[in-house]
Structure 1
């Protein structure tokens, strides 16, 4: 039986295919003979309790010099449970519409669709806060909206990082030192005058050696990380903020951190995760749309997306043994 894979992602015509991890997944799935179906986030809907979507059949090409790297067919309204796998690869921020989409996808999951990552876990695992489940693997961290606590934290640690809980790509991250004359306005801006929680962490000088992205498939780490090296004068290693990606083998500490979080990832149905590590510490656990597949593939001759598809096929086989056929 041909596997039917749907993907919910931001507009495919706006991606950079040579570096896009979702596109890598589509290429790998198509190479394995899957039928591909494309959806925007607002294409998902519900009729009388039946999860549906306005889908388009999709074909993709690995042609870096060809702007026509995909082909979409006419839209059709179809039940989501006609698909075997749905990848939800919408970029943050995690807003109310994203939340509603996960609820609809959870209904599809109950009908036997393998949703990657698990909808409930996408709701539960804020990418900043989820890391605090493993506080023994983190540097000193505070989450609060209270200005006095943030000021005390800066005074205690002298050199800190402030960041919002709902941003991505290094957006709105501030390095704040004790005595910074802008401390009050930074706190007011990030917390909206005490209305929103933010995260404060002790600054890690190891950022100069890179903010490492480690990819895990069903809890198993890819053996190489992408160290995202900040530009000179920059505190953020994110590629979106101009960081330079340098691949390197996992260290023993990296492997220990992965082993620490792996059982939780598996239990929560988080099939594909990006673990961010600076020095010896976890800083974030990315679950919505982790990237860096293309960079690691290019530097080490890997096919990470194909590894993911192999594991998802295995999960479908395991699911078929436990459940009667749906098609």
Structure 2
């Protein structure tokens, strides 16, 4: 797996678009629909309470609420249905299309509503054209206010994203030296115990470092599996037949992005806490489980009694922090004894690449 060239610096527009895919699918959630309905009711009440409404104020509220609710629901439904296409647009084009979509839905709904209300005996105080222009002006004002609120949200998201990137870089800076020192210790042991294998081990180590010390902060599941395999090949020079790995992986592996050096430290922990500490073979199982919404990675090893080694706990905490920065609450990492063996289960959302391909 050759190392990849460093990524060019991202422009601010690219950073803005990187923040949007997580926001646009939210139009499909029940929470956003309820908020939209509540805001529509508030807007209808505000339009009803203006001076001059007269004794028909509450009848006007019902009519306005009916109209606003239809406009809001149809607009949200269209945004939900087209979110993958909208996701590919530049920020300015995306905002312009959302406003245009709102005005189009308002125009169609207002035209249909004007005729429907007249058919049930409503006596309008304005012509159909005036009714349409009135509603379009209100929709445009609401759309512009929405853009302003979205710009505030985007500015806040920029700050959060910058802080997360800085934290993620610091975590990567911690895990890479940890990996380097442990691998060098492996080579040092081979030099003393098996000089004939030292040269090949150094070559394997160089191949592993080219992948592990790449400039990217993320890698794919396939790259993580390949890096873990190369690390285990390196450890096999030292441990021999005591190292047995049972790979339970689908072919092909699902497309999935992960923080770099996610799987290798977990495999390393299994080697250090299990295989190294017992004279007999200690099987390690690495399994990938594919669900409808998530992908799980399971690493199991024997439970070996004795005092815990210091330092390897840092890897679990580090990986958990990096998963939280990349996926938020959608990812999890659990570790502990299960049925007489030590199991680490990592769960990440499948939608981070698979849903878009």
What is the TM-score normalised by the length of structure 2? 0.27
Comparing both structures, which one devotes a greater share of its residues to strand? 1
Comparing both structures, which one devotes a greater share of its residues to helix? 2
What is the TM-score normalised by the length of structure 1? 0.29
Larger Rg: 1 or 2? Answer: 2
